[in-house]
């Protein structure tokens, strides 16, 4: 996720770190080059461009912008829902750590470390990394390598630990019910994240946007060259930057759990949980909070 201290300064206009420009630069070069060629051809063969008007491109551009705004709104909704789910996970982790505070250190520490393994395992699962290894490394115990869903298996183990403490009289029935409710909320948040990660936007819809934006930007120079001359490449560059930029940004936001610069900072969120749980488990020193590197918080 991009974290910049000053978003309104004049220098922000020239910022490349966090800009979508490097990702779409090849396509911008192609469309601007086509615009230059169109101007050259219009000077040598003006009759070929006399019948090309701007009206069709105005209608197509208006329609394209509307549909692209719908797609980007859907992609941002996925990104924002994912951030809300991880915010709920942070809240539930802190609440569980507070509720387990009445237990002895020996009783609560395995459960807190198990919850830490859940956070690391879920982040690894969403990014396609080794989920079982992440759980084992964080919790210092087993990684549930044979389980179909290792992260969910962690919650089941924590629930069984709480049930054993209830049977021993260390946790009351009401406290156990509250703990189970918290674990249920974590399971629901995990299912929500998995739903977003495994259900992309319809491919045909995204493909339609990609193709239409590309064709529009490649044909637009032939409508502008006859009247605007060498101003055409500049206009085409601006239009291409806007359309291709929105298209690319939608691709990044569609999968908010990836490692693109505009994706969610899962590592930083997991570190927040890690510091809270390790403090509750009285394990020191705590790892430092993650800071942005080159304006990017991972």
- Total number of domains constituting the chain: 1
Q: For residues 163 and 259, what is the distance between their CA atoms, to the nearest angstrom? A: 38
Q: Which is nearest to 175 in space by CA: 116, 115, 101?
A: 101
Whole domain around residue 179: which residue ranges? 23-280
Q: Rounded distance, CA 241 to CA 25, Å?
A: 9
Residue 31 lies in a domain: yes
The owner of tokens 């051809």 is 41
Tokens of 187: 């399971």
What pLDDT is attached to residue 127?
Answer: 93
Give the chain as a DSSP string: -B--S-SSSGGGGG--TT-SHHHHHHHHHHHHHHHHHHHHHHHH-GGGGTT--SHHHHHHHHHHHHHHHHHHHHHHHHHHHHHHHHHHHHHHHHHHHHHGGGS-HHHHHHHHHHHHHHHHHHHHHHTTS-HHHHHHHHHSS---TTSSSHHHHHHHHHHHHHHHHHHTTSS-HHHHHHHHHHHHHHHHHHHHHHHHHH-PPPHHHHHHHHHHHHHHHHHHHHHHHHHHGGGHHHHHHHHHHHHHHHHHHHHHHHSTTSSSTTS--HHHHHHHHHHHHHHHTT--SPPPPP--BTTB--
Q: What is the pLDDT of residue 153?
A: 94
Residue in the block written with tokens 């403090």: 279
Q: What is the pLDDT of residue 14?
A: 62
In a domain, 285, yes or no: no
For residues 161 and 171, is the Cβ–Cβ distance under 8 A? no
Tell me: cis bond preceding 285? Omega within 30 of 0 counts: yes
pLDDT tens string, the chain, 298 residues long: the values are 777 666 555 556 666 666 788 888 899 999 999 989 988 888 777 766 666 667 777 788 888 888 888 888 999 999 999 999 999 999 999 999 999 988 899 999 999 999 999 999 999 999 999 999 999 999 888 778 888 999 999 999 999 999 999 999 899 999 999 999 999 999 999 999 999 999 988 888 888 888 888 998 888 888 888 778 888 899 999 999 989 988 888 888 899 998 888 889 999 999 999 999 999 999 989 999 988 887 778 8
pLDDT in the model for residue 64: 85
Q: What is the model's pLDDT at position 2? A: 75
CA gap 119, 134 in Å, rounded: 9
Residue 288 lies in a domain: no
Q: Is residue 56 in some structural domain?
A: yes
Q: Does a structural domain hold residue 7?
A: no
pLDDT at 106: 92
C-alpha angle with apex 128: 122 to 24, nearest 5 degrees? 120
**Per-residue confidence (pLDDT) for residue 207, from 0 to 100:** 87
């Amino acid at each position: 996720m991009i974290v910049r201290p000053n978003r309104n300064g004049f220098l922000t206009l020239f910022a490349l770190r966090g800009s979508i420009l490097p990702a779409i630069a090849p396509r911008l070069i192609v469309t601007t080059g086509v615009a230059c060629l169109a101007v050259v051809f219009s000077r040598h063969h003006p009759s070929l461009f006399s019948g090309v008007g701007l009206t069709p491109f105005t209608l197509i551009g208006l329609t394209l912008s509307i549909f692209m705004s719908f797609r980007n709104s859907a992609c941002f909704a996925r990104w924002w829902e994912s951030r809300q789910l991880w915010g709920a996970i942070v809240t539930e982790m802190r609440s569980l750590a507070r509720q387990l505070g009445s237990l002895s250190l020996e009783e609560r520490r395995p459960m807190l470390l198990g919850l830490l393994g859940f956070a690391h395992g879920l982040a690894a699962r969403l990014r396609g990394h080794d989920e079982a290894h992440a759980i084992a490394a964080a919790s210092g115990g087993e990684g549930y390598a044979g389980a179909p869903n290792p992260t969910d298996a962690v919650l089941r183990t924590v629930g069984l630990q709480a049930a054993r403490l209830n049977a021993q009289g260390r946790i009351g029935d009401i406290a156990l019910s509250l703990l189970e409710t918290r674990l249920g909320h974590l399971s629901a948040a995990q299912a929500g994240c998995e739903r977003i990660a495994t259900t992309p936007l319809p491919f045909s819809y995204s493909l339609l946007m990609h193709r239409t934006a590309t064709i529009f930007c490649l044909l637009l120079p032939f409508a502008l060259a006859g009247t605007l001359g060498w101003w055409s490449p500049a206009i085409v560059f601006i239009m291409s930057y806007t359309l291709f930029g929105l298209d690319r940004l939608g691709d990044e936001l569609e999968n908010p759990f990836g490692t693109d610069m505009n994706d969610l900072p899962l590592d930083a969120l997991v570190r927040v949980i890690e510091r809270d749980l390790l403090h509750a488990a009285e394990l020191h020193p705590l790892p430092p909070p993650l800071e942005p590197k080159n304006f990017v918080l991972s």
